[in-house]
């Protein structure tokens, strides 16, 4: 009995919001697509009732806003019903984006941690690097992404790597900021304590600073992985839209395939949520192993 | 005359702040002999903690000489001459109690077997045997502080410096820990420097009480205790105890009426 109650207190709020979003979505679809439905009827010289109009807004081929079931049907069609190797499979496109995301995320995390260590240990790095790290994020990624692709292409690098680099560009930032904060989180007393044991700097890094930074690192990784996915999608836009979720988005917008755009969008969202959730699980396991209560 | 373990000569420390210089310590002259239990007592701002930190080489004096084990304080710190207990237990939440006590031993390069032996030995000293696998959050505040004392005892330092270690604990726990600390002192024969702002605590524990006064931080009087070294809490009702406590109180009052 209690278990059922626990389950609902966990799922209930999520479920409620989901229903609300779906309702708003359907209402919006009717409202936005009605103009086209009336337009069609007018040109055919027929008058349609309200319920006929509503039915029409649910099944247009290129609606302004596709209804949820159209999107779900499209996703089902392009994932379950298509072979994974097919160029029409959303799983195939998703994997292409995911691989760039993961590679870029790994680069970004490594770069972020390295920079943070440098910034914490060297005052001159703190003064010189940090402003550039912040400046890097004020440049719109949409402006710099094509440059990266073009420049790398000119020196013969194409495919996965340029996209991963754009991912890295977005994902290293939260890691730097979080890790600098985390590595500086030990208080003066804890640092004094290390001094009383005349511990070398490297020792206090490995035994105090690094473990202290773990909660901060995981918070940053969650933001970083989502940013990585955005980076990979943005990186796919200027490549001529051959493969990946970004390509699906761009191709969809070329041909007015709104259903395709929305299904790619939803897939990207599901992917991002899953990545964040996976990091959340690793976070829980790691911090619990470390004995830290969360 | 015993050998002097800690000696300060004409020691001064001035902090430069935006509001001008702050004389944290001025002309401190002090000798602590081997095996003594010395308390530093005074109102806040009298520099008692700063003095302890100077001994520990956590602060550098601007004038004068501080010697620990006949070495400069910085050398003594490098030689790991003392264990330091802070006001907060400062145990790492991601390490067990045993792991926390092992930490300085790992840093100092003791082998695994010896680490284990020492952990169980010091846990017994502070009456925490069987708690080595527990995490800090599973222990009460008093137990955590005992674990941090155990950590300071784990390596072979003859000096134990304690900065208001029981300041954050309630009176009952504090009394109990005071008794334990005395027992510990008599079994380990360590030289102890102990900062406190409690008169009964200082009188109960110490063989020597250093009364300090603020602005500038200086020693106003050093009171030797004639209480027997074997003490129980009941001694606090004895005439000798109350006499010494009265002396300390008078001296503290004098110091603060200067203003």
Which of A199, A203, A290 faces B94 most closely, judged by CB atoms? A290
Residues of A in contact with B90 (CB under 8 A): 189-190, 193
What's the mean pLDDT when you consider all of chain B?
A: 88
pTM over cut 0.80? yes
Q: Which of residues 123-182 of A touch B (CB under 8 A)?
A: none
Taking only the tens place, the pLDDT of each residue in A112-137 is 999 999 999 999 998 999 899 999 88
**Fold observed for domain B1-81+157-237+249-259:** Rossmann fold (3.40.50)
Task: Give mean pLDDT, residues B142-150.
Answer: 91
pLDDT of residue A191: 93
Residues near B216 by beta carbon (within 8 Å), at least 6 away in sequence: B23, B24, B25, B26, B47
pLDDT of residue B1: 46
Task: Give mean pLDDT, residues B210-223.
Answer: 88
Taking only the tens place, the pLDDT of each residue in A160-199 is 899 999 999 999 999 999 999 999 999 999 999 999 998 9
pLDDT at B258 over 80: no
The reply to whether residue B77 touches residue A196, judged by beta carbons under 8 angstroms, is: yes
pLDDT < 70: residue spans in chain A = 1-4, 239-241, 292-294
Q: What is the spatial distance between Cα B82 and Cα A193, in angstroms, rounded to a whole number? A: 11
Which of B80, B84, B94 faces A211 most closely, judged by CB atoms? B94
From residue B88, how far is each of B45, B107, B164 by CA, in Å? 19, 21, 9
Which of A192, A203, A291 faces B58 most closely, judged by CB atoms? A192
Side-chain half-sphere exposure of A150, counting CA atoms within 13 A: 6
Side-chain half-sphere exposure of A21, counting CA atoms within 13 A: 7
The reply to whether residue B95 touches residue A190, judged by beta carbons under 8 angstroms, is: no
pLDDT of residue A103: 96
Q: Which residue of A has its CA nearest to B138?
A: A291
Which of B56, B80, B93 faces A292 most closely, judged by CB atoms? B93
Calculate ∠ Cα B156-B157-B161, nearest 5°.
145
Confidence of residue B256 (pLDDT cuts 50, 70, 90): low
Strand partners of residue B67: B7, B72
Q: For residue B208, what are its two tokens? A: 């020597």
Q: Are strands B37-41 and B191-196 parallel, antiparallel or unpaired?
A: parallel
Taking only the tens place, the pLDDT of each residue in B105-114 is 999 999 999 9
Confidence of residue B252 (pLDDT cuts 50, 70, 90): confident
- 3-state DSSP: chain B helix, strand, coil percent, rounded to 5? 40, 25, 35
User: How crowded is residue B13: how many other Cβ atoms within 10 Å of its Cβ?
Assistant: 24
pLDDT of residue B55: 93
Which has more confidence, A253 or B210? B210
Residues of A in contact with B83 (CB under 8 A): 196
Contact residues of B toward A, CB < 8 A: 53, 56-58, 77-78, 80, 82-84, 86-88, 90, 92-96, 103-104, 106-108, 135, 137
Q: Are B115 and B102 in contact (CB under 8 A)?
A: yes
Among A188, A189, A197, A199, most B C-beta atoms within 10 A, so best to mutate, is A197
pLDDT of residue B226: 83
Residues of B in contact with A192 (CB under 8 A): 53, 58, 84, 86
pLDDT of residue A95: 92
Q: What is the spatial distance between Cα B117 and Cα B119, in angstroms, rounded to a whole number? A: 6
Q: Where are the domains of chain B?
A: 1-81+157-237+249-259, 89-156
Among B89, B103, B135, most A C-beta atoms within 10 A, so best to mutate, is B103
């Amino acid at each position: 009995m209690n278990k059922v109650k626990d389950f609902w207190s966990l799922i209930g709020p999520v479920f409620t919001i989901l229903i609300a979003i779906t309702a708003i979505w359907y209402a919006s679809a009717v409202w936005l697509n009605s103009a086209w439905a009336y337009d069609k009827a007018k040109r055919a010289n027929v008058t349609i009732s309200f319920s006929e109009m509503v039915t029409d807004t649910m099944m247009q081929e290129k609606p302004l806003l596709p209804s949820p079931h159209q999107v779900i049907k499209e996703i089902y069609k392009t994932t379950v019903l298509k072979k994974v190797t097919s160029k029409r499979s959303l799983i195939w496109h998703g994997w292409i984006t995911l691989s760039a995301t993961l590679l870029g995320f790994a680069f970004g995390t490594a770069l972020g941690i390295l920079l943070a260590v440098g910034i914490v240990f060297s005052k001159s790095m703190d003064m010189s690097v940090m402003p550039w790290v912040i400046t890097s994020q004020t440049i719109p990624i949409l402006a710099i992404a094509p440059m990266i692709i073009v420049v790398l292409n000119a020196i013969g690098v194409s495919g996965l790597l340029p996209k991963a680099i754009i991912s890295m560009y977005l994902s290293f930032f939260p890691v730097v900021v979080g890790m600098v904060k985390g590595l500086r989180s030990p208080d003066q007393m804890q640092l004094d304590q290390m001094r009383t044991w005349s511990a070398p700097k490297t020792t206090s890094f490995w035994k105090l600073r690094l473990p202290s930074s773990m909660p901060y690192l995981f918070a940053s990784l969650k933001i970083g992985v989502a940013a990585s996915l955005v980076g990979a999608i943005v990186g796919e836009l200027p490549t001529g839209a051959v493969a990946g979720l970004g390509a699906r988005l761009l191709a969809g917008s070329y041909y007015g395939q709104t259903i395709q755009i929305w299904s790619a969008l939803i897939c990207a969202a599901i992917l991002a949520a899953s990545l964040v959730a996976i990091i959340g699980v690793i976070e829980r396991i790691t911090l619990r192993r470390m004995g830290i209560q969360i | 005359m015993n050998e002097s373990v800690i000696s300060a000569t004409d020691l001064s420390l001035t902090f430069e702040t935006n509001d001008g210089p702050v004389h944290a310590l001025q002309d401190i002259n002090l000798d602590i002999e081997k095996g003594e239990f010395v308390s530093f007592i005074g109102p806040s701002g009298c520099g008692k903690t700063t003095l302890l930190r100077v001994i520990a080489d956590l602060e550098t004096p601007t004038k004068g000489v501080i010697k620990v084990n006949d070495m400069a304080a910085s050398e003594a710190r490098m030689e790991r001459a003392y264990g330091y207990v802070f006001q907060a237990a400062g145990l790492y939440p991601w390490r067990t109690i045993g792991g926390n006590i092992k930490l300085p031993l790992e840093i100092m390069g003791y082998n695994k077997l010896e680490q284990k032996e020492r952990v169980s030995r010091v846990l017994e000293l502070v009456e925490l045997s069987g708690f080595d696998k527990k995490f800090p959050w599973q222990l009460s505040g008093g137990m955590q502080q005992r674990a941090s004392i155990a950590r300071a005892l784990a390596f072979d330092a003859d000096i134990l410096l304690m900065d208001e270690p029981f300041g954050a604990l309630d009176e009952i726990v504090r009394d109990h820990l005071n008794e334990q600390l005395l027992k510990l002192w008599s079994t380990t024969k360590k030289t102890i420097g102990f900062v406190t702002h409690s008169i009964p605590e200082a009188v109960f524990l110490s063989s020597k009480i250093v009364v300090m006064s603020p602005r500038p931080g200086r020693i106003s009087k050093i009171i030797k205790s004639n209480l027997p070294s074997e003490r129980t809490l009941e001694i606090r009702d004895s005439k000798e105890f109350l006499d010494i406590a009265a002396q300390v109180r008078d001296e503290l009052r004098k110091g603060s009426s200067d203003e």
